[in-house]
Structure 1
Amino acid sequence: MSRSDRAPFRQGRRGALRPAASRGRAVTRTLSDDPLGGTVRRTVLPSGLRVLTEAIPTMRSVSFGIWVGVGSRDETGAQAGVSHFLEHLLFKGTHKRTALDISSEIEAVGGETNAFTTKEYTCYYARVLDEDLPLAIDVMVDLVADSVLDPDDVETERGVILEEIAMHDDEPGDEVHDTFARAVYGDHPLGRLISGTEETVTPMTRRQIQAFYRSRYTAPSIVIAAAGNLDHATVVKQVRRALAGGPLDTAPAEPAGHRPNTPVVPVRTAATVVEPKETEQAHVVLGCPGIDRLDERRFALGVLNNVLGGGMSSRLFQEIRERRGLAYSVYSYASQYADTGLFAVYAGCAPGKVDEVLDLTRTELAKVAAHGLTDAELARGKGMTKGSFVLGLEDTGSRMSRLAKGELLYGDLLPVDELLARVDAVGVDEVNTLAAELLTVPMSLAVVGPFGEGDFRADS
């Protein structure tokens, strides 16, 4: 056992052992030697920034990501869209690199970079050949830690984001999901658009963005993850070198704790929200509040979701598309946050078929709530859940994401075998009890299409 492996630990949420700060020393621990994956190691730097890697010697590439525990739900109403605005701006230049430098240095070695903002975190990532990982680390750490936020770039990106918002409004199949979130959460931050709106983005100032950047992008809130052909100690050394002397090279601190799950997120009573648009196809989402991401029933929910609308053999797909030909696309999904969640069914169909599609959807949900799943459906749902999880780990990007989400969102990285065992352990009674609880509440409805508010009812 190395000196770092003997460092003190503190008990984290869900009982996971977490390295504590150790008098300014980096603390390293091996988390797993998974036969279905590579060796996973975790280092907590003195600043509270965490570095996780998965070494996969059989790969010739590496995916490298910087994950920040802040998203659109952390914004006030006046700030709506600032996280997404900042995501755009960080690629526009640092004190060492111009925007062209950032893109050209990575593209010159055949790599790629990108970023995305969610309601609870923001991610910046690059994928490169293994030999070019030092370059990717230097570039990505630089852009996240030391962006200039030039006033001219703020104005340029404001125009880009407003175009992005307008483009989103032209995609009703995407817009309806945001409309559904608003139907359930109302004015709560989880009900807002990640991008913000024209009304919030237009007046946003550089000063506001800068203040958000420096107050929320702190070392304890950041997780760096990498997966591929790499050496953990070398990655940590390269990250520390890239951080040295910069804004994230700060005094010793503990890593940020989990996002609190109180107070309870308020949800609206069953509501119907209609966005009238002269579209050729109607888009509908019918659903209700679900469970949070740490709820032990999340494995049962995954199985239930797959049986209801998770594939071509699902009940909804078979009944609505295959047997009746009423919709091209129909599926169910679950979204989970720190303290709440959503369960919903989406369908895209001809406007004249909406009522029939909704009636059939409500009927299928009621059947499952009343009678549960069959043993054959349970077995199929488990198989789909396990297969999609394992097949989703076939590239370095998904493995990198798994490391970061485990650390940032769960405080725990379950080995692949344990995750599969948790799915196998799901019983039919557990799924049926959850279905009876989840699918019998009044449902909210979101509609985008050639309708008015009075054309629909909010009952389930």
Structure 2
Amino acid sequence: MIEEGILNNGIQVIHQQNTYSKVGHIGVFINVGSRDEEKGEEGLAHYLEHVIFKGTKKRKAFHVLSRLDSVGGELNAYTTKEETCVYASFPIEYLSRALELLSDIIFNSNFPNQELQKEKEVVVEEINSYKDSPTDLIFDEFDKQLFKGHSLGNDILGTELQVKSIKRSDVLNFVKKYYIPERMVISSIGSYPLKKLINYLEKYFEIKSTKIESQKRSLPKLVFPKDKIVKRDVHQTHTMIGGRGYSADHPSKNSLLLLNNLLGGPAMNSRLNLSIREKYGFTYMLESNCTIYSDCGSFSVYFASDPKNTFRVEKLIQKEFLKLCNQSLGTIQLSQAKKQVKGQLVISMENNLGVMLANGKSKLLFDKVDNLDKVLSEFEKITSTELLEVANEIMHPKKLFKLTFQSK
């Protein structure tokens, strides 16, 4: 059962108590990501996620990293386009230690200049590693085309030039603006009760509310990109075919998720996998994706293949798109598609860290966390007529564009 609370300073808390695990997971979610960066700040949200571990007013970087590691716990963080999360996994007897450490690095980091300069080199190496990975790079380029002129199209990591130009004052101003109680949610899962968690949080997260007015996010304009070919040093041809998807509050969001899973989800019996990889052996990497943001979304199919097979793979993908657009799922097909996606959801609930992260993100961005039974019932309500409508709105070839990385 998911329980909710709120601290005196306004930080929202969600907790899922289990009685069987000896491990706890807690994440502090901040409602800021790369889409919130202003011009000239690109890469700052992600860079801050790195340097937040580099020392506080009472701990040097080594002691920050060792505080949980020394008892077998883990400390980590990530940045997306819409949120930043700092989280910890720990043996439950170290709940207090984990919360105190999370509070210390989020509210008391002092960002020593020497550490800031050193971490710039680390982030630059991370950027360079992406440049060596066409599989990663093509997704960034796809977003640039789909959200052209909007911050959602920016790389989360920024560029080498941008990262190297970040000043300590930029970091401090960003923290002051966004790392505030009004923009935070704390998500937890563990065997301890909510009351115990709240008592510790009131002790360690007692920072005062700032009453800073939240900045509203701008909605990206609807654009229809043209097909694009990029020449790169690659052996295979890498291709993405896609376009706009749905936002988190769109009534047809779950219908699109079900279609995506049926078309090219993680299961080996997805339509794309059976019709392209298993039947012809044309590709090893092949998947379809739905990315859902608070106010918009994207849909895409990605594959990598030998250049001589690329055209045939594209035609086979288009054939599967048109099947979904022109042929309603039969009763048995629809039932099987629902069983599969519901089973995947049930299995995912066994991953406590994943559950904690999903709960926190949902509460932060959408101000709600649906329990599993409700989510499953929503998928059960989907009809074949709805799927046909969604397929024609999102997956019809006329509404998609193609991005290709070809050998020079």
- Shorter-chain TM-score tier: over 0.9
Q: Does 1:393 align with 2:349?
A: yes
Identify if the C-alpha distance between structure 1 residues 442 and 251 changes in structure 2 by more than 3 Å, giving closer, same or farther: closer
Find the residue that maps to 1:330 and give its secondary structure. Answer: strand
Q: Is the CA contact 2:2–2:371 (under 8 Å) kept in the aligned structure 1? A: no
Counterpart position of 1:422: 378
Tell me which amino acid in the other structure corresponds to 2:340: M
Q: Is the CA contact 2:180–2:209 (under 8 Å) kept in the aligned structure 1? A: no
Q: Is the CA contact 1:55–1:227 (under 8 Å) kept in the aligned structure 2? A: yes
Could you list the per-position Cα deviations for residues 335-393 of structure 1 after superposition, in whole angstroms to 9, with x for gaps in the alignment? 01111100110111112221221122122212211223333332222122111111111
TM-score between the two structures when normalised by the length of structure 1: 0.85
Identify if the C-alpha distance between structure 1 residues 328 and 72 changes in structure 2 by more than 3 Å, giving closer, same or farther: same
Question: Bigger CA drift: 394-403 or 299-308?
Answer: 394-403
Shift of the alpha carbon at 1:270?
Answer: 2.9
TM-score between the two structures when normalised by the length of structure 2: 0.95
Counterpart position of 2:338: 382
Identify if the C-alpha distance between structure 1 residues 251 and 298 changes in structure 2 by more than 3 Å, giving closer, same or farther: closer
Q: Is the CA contact 1:307–1:378 (under 8 Å) kept in the aligned structure 2? A: no
Counterpart position of 2:253: 298
Distance 1:152 1:405 in 2: 33
Could you list the per-position Cα deviations for residues 163-191 of structure 1 after superposition, in whole angstroms to 9, with x for gaps in the alignment? 10000111111111111111211131111
Find the residue that maps to 1:125 and give its secondary structure. Answer: strand
Counterpart position of 2:226: 271
Q: Does 1:109 align with 2:71?
A: yes
Shift of the alpha carbon at 1:260?
Answer: 5.4
Could you list the per-position Cα deviations for residues 143-174 of structure 1 after superposition, in whole angstroms to 9, with x for gaps in the alignment? 01111011111101111101100001111111
Q: Which runs of 5+ in 1 are unaligned?
A: 1-38, 452-460
Q: Does 1:318 align with 2:274?
A: yes
Identify if the C-alpha distance between structure 1 residues 163 and 252 changes in structure 2 by more than 3 Å, giving closer, same or farther: closer
Q: Is the CA contact 1:80–1:196 (under 8 Å) kept in the aligned structure 2? A: yes
**Among candidates 294, 306, 310, match of residue 350 of structure 1:** 306
Q: Is the CA contact 1:186–1:267 (under 8 Å) kept in the aligned structure 2? A: no
Counterpart position of 1:412: 368
Question: Bigger CA drift: 209-218 or 367-376?
Answer: 367-376
Shift of the alpha carbon at 1:253?
Answer: 5.5
Distance 1:189 1:406 in 2: 21
Counterpart position of 1:455: none
Distance 1:251 1:122 in 2: 19
Shift of the alpha carbon at 1:98?
Answer: 1.2
Q: Does 1:339 align with 2:301?
A: no
Shift of the alpha carbon at 1:435?
Answer: 0.7
Counterpart position of 2:112: 150
Distance 1:74 1:252 in 2: 19
Counterpart position of 2:387: 431
Counterpart position of 1:32: none
Distance 1:372 1:391 in 2: 28
Counterpart position of 2:164: 202
Tell me which amino acid in the other structure corresponds to 2:406: G
**Among candidates 187, 208, 212, match of residue 250 of structure 1:** 208
Q: Is the CA contact 1:406–1:412 (under 8 Å) kept in the aligned structure 2? A: yes
Tell me which amino acid in the other structure corresponds to 1:280: H
Shift of the alpha carbon at 1:395?
Answer: 2.6
Distance 1:238 1:274 in 2: 54
Distance 1:405 1:140 in 2: 17
Q: Is the CA contact 2:51–2:119 (under 8 Å) kept in the aligned structure 1? A: yes
> Considering only aligned residues, what root-mean-square deviation do their CA atoms show, in Å?
1.7
Could you list the per-position Cα deviations for residues 253-311 of structure 1 after superposition, in whole angstroms to 9, with x for gaps in the alignment? 59x98x857x5421332323333222122211100101101112111111111111113
Q: Is the CA contact 2:294–2:366 (under 8 Å) kept in the aligned structure 1? A: no
Counterpart position of 2:200: 238
Counterpart position of 1:216: 178
Identify if the C-alpha distance between structure 1 residues 213 and 275 changes in structure 2 by more than 3 Å, giving closer, same or farther: farther
Percent sequence identity is 28
Tell me which amino acid in the other structure corresponds to 1:303: L
Q: Which runs of 5+ in 2 are unaligned?
A: none
Q: Is the CA contact 2:78–2:84 (under 8 Å) kept in the aligned structure 1? A: yes
Counterpart position of 2:31: 69
Q: Count the aligned residue pairs.
A: 406
Counterpart position of 1:370: 326
Distance 1:374 1:430 in 2: 13
